[in-house]
């Protein structure tokens, strides 16, 4: 039996992924191709391009991309490279209402990706050449989908529609398909972590570690208040039944999503990983997402954004509450850093066999391991 087949056994008998899945650059390169570029991966927040003409460059596992808000107010993503000589097109986030101009030879593209200007391409006095067919040389667009404030892309272009692949989660969280509002000044932060991106997924999936790593959180959202969430080959995570929204000293609360069913009012909140790299959480007054942006086999940027349900929640009178909410989540995620970095260092132990899973507490983590193993087999 191959080792990856053993990872896919039942949680009672399976081993975890072997060390090379966290330390070997060759394995990292292959999983990048299959898991990150070959699936629907999160790369940015919709709020990164709030207005028409906004552009936001980002890399996914070394692939240069640019997120654009076009003139029809749609979010689009292109490979961030000029079709002339392969120069990076957009280097900084900002406005590009007059188009995206290559800094090398000034070829220019509009927000819909069309090549609209080729200065001097035919010589010192000619901006046209019969061999340069502008309609055939537009930017290379990447399939894109926006869900719960996150911009997803399928760089390989062969993963199938997002709504089909994630249909079960879209049904599970259908009540949260409502307008979202994003305070870029307060409600986002980035953590720089010395670990393989999968370790951040594994840690997020389970509540088993709460009493020891998050003692403050565990004091009011105890381990026994949590439940496992497992959907084979799609997503996994955990939920709580005792979520209590933050409030100001004078008792003010942020607005809640409209039309939520009773379970969300009775304290339910859920924390799920959309495979491969988005850690999402839903609550009755806000949602959040953490984008895992791998930089190398043992280095990951964790970018967190928190989204609210109304313009009123964006009012200055609630700035203190938004700041408190961001501070609380940052504290939780900061507490996880020592753990995931410790697991990364542990993967240097030559005889560690991937470990075992608690059949009661680690089902969501095992679900992720099995998905990785199946995808890499």
25 and 133, same domain (yes or no): no
Q: What is the CATH number of the domain that holds 124?
A: 2.102.10.10
The span from the CA of 38 to the CA of 276, in Å, is 10
> Tokens representing 160?
């199938």
- 211 and 103 within one domain: no
């990150």: which residue's tokens? 36
Tell which residue, 81, 48, 77, 74, has the closest CA to residue 190.
48
* 117 Cβ contact list (under 8 Å, min separation 6): 99, 101, 106, 107, 108, 127
> Does residue 121 sit in helix, strand or coil?
coil
Distance of alpha carbon 291 from alpha carbon 275, whole angstroms: 11
Has residue 196 been placed in a domain? yes
For residue 111, the enclosing domain spans 42-147
pLDDT at 252: 87
Q: 340: closest CA among 194, 191, 237, 214? A: 194
Burial of 107 (0-12, 13-18, 19+ CB in 10 A): buried
In a domain, 153, yes or no: no
Question: Which helix (H) or strand (E) is 104 found in, with range?
Answer: none
Say if residue 231 is in the same domain as residue 299. Answer: yes
The C-alpha atoms of residue 186 and residue 320 are separated, in whole angstroms, by 10
CB 308 within 8 A of CB 314: yes
Q: Is residue 103 part of a domain?
A: yes
- List per-block mean pLDDT (blocks of 10 residues) for the chain, which spans 377 residues: 90 97 98 98 98 98 97 98 98 93 97 97 94 97 98 97 97 97 94 98 97 90 95 96 88 93 96 98 98 98 97 92 94 97 98 97 98 97
Asked if residue 285 is part of any domain, the answer here is: yes
Rounded Cα gap, residues 212 and 220, in angstroms: 14
| Pair (289, 201) in one structural domain | yes
| Same-domain pairing of 262 and 312 | yes
Q: Are residues 142 and 195 in the same domain?
A: no
Shared-domain flag, residues 101 and 23: no
Residue 41 zone, left/alpha/beta (φ > 0; ψ -120 to 50; rest): beta
Q: Are residues 227 and 179 in the same domain?
A: yes
Q: Is residue 158 part of a domain?
A: no
Residues 189 and 256 in one domain: yes
Q: Which residue has the tokens 């942020």?
A: 254
Q: Tokens representing 264?
A: 């969300």
Element (H, E) at 189: strand 188-193
Order the strands of the 54-60 sheet from edge to edge: 94-95, 54-60, 63-69, 75-79, 141-142
CATH of the domain at 228: 3.90.380.10
Query: What's the whole-model pTM score?
Result: 0.97
Number of domains in the chain: 2
Beta bridge partners of 288: 281, 306
Is 161 among the domain residues? no
Closest CA to 36 of 18, 60, 59, 20: 60
Say if CB 151 and CB 75 are below 8 A apart: yes
SS3 272: strand
Q: What is the pLDDT of residues 294-321, one digit of tens each?
A: 999 999 999 999 999 999 999 998 999 9
């Amino acid at each position: 039996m191959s080792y990856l087949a053993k990872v896919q056994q039942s949680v009672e008998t399976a081993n975890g992924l072997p060390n090379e899945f966290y330390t070997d650059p060759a394995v990292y390169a292959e999983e990048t191709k299959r898991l990150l570029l070959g699936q629907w991966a999160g790369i940015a927040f919709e709020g990164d391009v709030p207005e028409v003409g906004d552009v936001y460059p980002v890399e996914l596992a070394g692939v240069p991309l640019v997120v654009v808000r076009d003139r029809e107010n749609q979010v689009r993503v292109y490979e961030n490279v000029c079709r002339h000589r392969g120069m990076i097109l957009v280097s900084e986030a900002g406005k590009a209402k007059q188009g995206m101009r290559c800094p090398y030879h000034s070829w220019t593209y509009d927000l819909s990706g069309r090549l609209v200007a080729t200065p001097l391409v035919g010589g010192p006095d000619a901006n046209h050449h019969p061999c340069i067919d502008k309609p055939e040389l537009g930017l290379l667009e990447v399939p894109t989908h926006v869900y719960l404030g996150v911009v997803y892309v399928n760089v390989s272009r062969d993963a199938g529609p997002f709504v089909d692949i994630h249909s079960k989660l879209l049904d599970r969280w259908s009540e949260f398909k409502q307008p979202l509002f994003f305070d870029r000044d307060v409600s986002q932060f980035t953590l720089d972590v010395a670990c393989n991106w999968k370790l951040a997924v594994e840690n997020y999936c389970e509540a088993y570690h709460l009493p020891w790593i998050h003692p403050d959180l565990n004091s009011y959202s105890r381990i026994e208040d949590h439940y496992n969430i497992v959907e084979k080959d799609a997503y996994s995570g955990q939920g709580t039944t005792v979520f209590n929204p933050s409030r100001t000293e004078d008792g003010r609360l942020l607005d809640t999503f409209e039309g939520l069913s009773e379970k969300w009012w009775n304290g339910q909140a859920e924390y799920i990983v959309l495979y491969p790299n988005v850690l999402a959480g839903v609550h009755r007054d806000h949602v959040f997402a953490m984008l895992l942006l791998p930089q190398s086999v043992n280095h990951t940027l964790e970018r967190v954004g928190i989204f609210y349900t109304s313009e009123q929640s964006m009012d200055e009178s609630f700035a203190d509450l938004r700041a408190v909410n961001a501070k609380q989540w940052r504290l939780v995620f900061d507490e996880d850093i020592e753990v995931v970095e410790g697991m990364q260092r542990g993967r240097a132990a030559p005889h560690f066999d991937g470990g075992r899973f608690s059949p009661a507490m680690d089902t969501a983590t095992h679900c992720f391991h099995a998905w990785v193993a199946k995808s890499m087999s």
